[in-house]
């Protein structure tokens, strides 16, 4: 995990504005609220006939994705284009990195093309911090997800969705995050954001094998029983089992996991009647969530995807010099 003070020094300029967006940790409540307020101002753009504003006209954004992605890549590309930026999606499998070029050499070559902003997704924790420390002063870096560490724009679109459904007072909310907490960068960023915004109670619910050691130190209450973890909560966040990050047997089987930790309508009845159900995707139906819940009236999963564009427009504009809304 990155040092908080280091992250803050790296992420903010001398006037306290976003220079990079690498992690939620170290950022103030006021700044998180400002990101959500800016995103709110962009929601009308996505509903217009011509879905564009000129804030980043003449700026160049490179989506540098070293891991597969659908929602994050598509929404970052749409967000940058709706801000009128020039956008390049670099296909790593066919780039010079596949021939042995180092990450820094790739960055240096792209900087020589007068790029203004990198969006980086990488399997290694700390990759976005590494690039931010070594890139040219005029270039900003947004973390699109690094290893198990952080996925800050996903956390902010989740907070934005909660605020839109439940209102701005996070202090009255009980939130349960259910699933593969151990391997989830989304969970870490969500927990940091919920703590900063003053959420009333944050629960993490998982088998012991999928909970980090000393998880209480993150400011959460751990549960290993799903029914108890869902009891009376306002928000349920389901997480995907990240098989690609598991290097040993953490579970007996997926069917056994669903039996114990899968969210069904019967289990959701333990939460408050107006509880909202979230999932950052991609969802595995019948593994962590039943289709009747994923497609049901309390699911806001597709709203999360839609809000991803407005929130990423906000972060792109706030990180780019001259692009502040």
Tokens of 212: 């980090």
268, 298 contact by CB (below 8 A): yes
Q: Cα(45)–Cα(65) distance, rounded to whole angstroms? A: 26
52 is known to lie in a ligand binding site? no
How close are the terminal C-alpha atoms of the chain, in Å? 31
| 151 labelled ligand-binding | yes
- The reply to whether 51 sits in an annotated binding site is no
Q: Which of 240, 199, 239 is nearest to 221 (CA)?
A: 199
**How many DSSP H helices and E strands does the chain contain?**
12, 9
Is position 154 annotated in a ligand binding site? yes
Query: Annotated binding residue at 174?
Result: no
Instruction: Please state whether 200 falls in left (phi above 0), alpha (psi between -120 and 50) or beta.
Output: alpha
CA-CA distance, 145 to 139, in Å (whole number)? 18
72 is in an annotated binding site: yes
283: Cβ contacts below 8 Å, ≥ 6 apart: 238, 240, 289, 294, 301
71 is in an annotated binding site: yes
240 is in an annotated binding site: yes
In order, the DSSP letters of 165-191 are HH-S-GGG-EEEEES-TTT-HHHHHHH
Structure token digits, residue 196: 């900063």
Determine the 3-state secondary structure of 126 from DSSP.
coil
> Binding site annotation covers 307?
no
Residue 164 marked as a ligand binder: no
Which residues, listed in sequence order, are joined to residue 222 by a DSSP beta bridge? 204
**Residues of each annotated binding site for carbamoyl phosphate:** 71-72, 121, 151, 154, 281-282
**Residues of each annotated binding site for L-aspartate:** 99, 185, 240
**Residues of each annotated binding site:** 71-72, 99, 121, 151, 154, 185, 240, 281-282
């Amino acid at each position: 995990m990155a040092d908080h003070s280091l992250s803050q020094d790296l992420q903010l300029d001398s006037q306290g504005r976003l220079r990079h967006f690498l992690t939620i940790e170290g950022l103030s409540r006021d700044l998180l609220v400002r990101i959500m307020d800016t995103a709110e101002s962009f929601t009308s753009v996505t509903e217009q006939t011509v879905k564009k504003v000129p804030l980043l006209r003449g700026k160049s954004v490179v989506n540098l994705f070293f891991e597969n992605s659908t929602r994050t890549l598509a929404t970052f590309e749409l967000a940058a284009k709706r801000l009128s930026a020039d956008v390049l999606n670099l296909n790593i499998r066919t780039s010079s990195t596949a021939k042995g070029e180092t990450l820094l050499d790739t960055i240096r070559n792209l900087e020589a093309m007068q790029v203004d902003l990198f969006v980086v997704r990488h399997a290694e924790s700390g990759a976005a911090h590494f690039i931010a420390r070594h890139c040219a002063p005029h270039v900003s870096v947004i973390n699109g997800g690094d290893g198990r560490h952080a996925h800050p724009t996903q956390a902010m679109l989740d907070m934005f969705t909660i605020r839109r459904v439940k209102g701005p007072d996070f202090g009255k909310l009980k939130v349960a995050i259910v699933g593969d907490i151990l391997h989830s960068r989304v969970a870490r960023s969500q927990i940091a954001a919920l703590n900063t915004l003053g959420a009333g109670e944050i629960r993490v619910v998982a088998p012991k094998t999928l909970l980090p050691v000393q998880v209480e130190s993150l400011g959460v209450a751990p549960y290993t029983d799903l029914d108890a973890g869902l009891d009376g909560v306002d928000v349920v966040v389901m997480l995907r089992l990240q098989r690609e990050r598991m290097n040993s047997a953490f579970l007996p089987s997926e069917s056994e996991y669903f039996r114990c930790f899968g969210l069904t309508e019967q289990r959701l009845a333990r939460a408050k009647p107006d509880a909202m159900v979230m999932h950052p995707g991609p969802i595995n139906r019948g593994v962590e969530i039943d289709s009747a819940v994923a497609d049901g009236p309390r699911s806001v999963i597709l709203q999360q995807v839609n809000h991803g564009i407005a929130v990423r427009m906000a972060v792109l504009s706030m990180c780019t010099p001259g692009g502040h809304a």
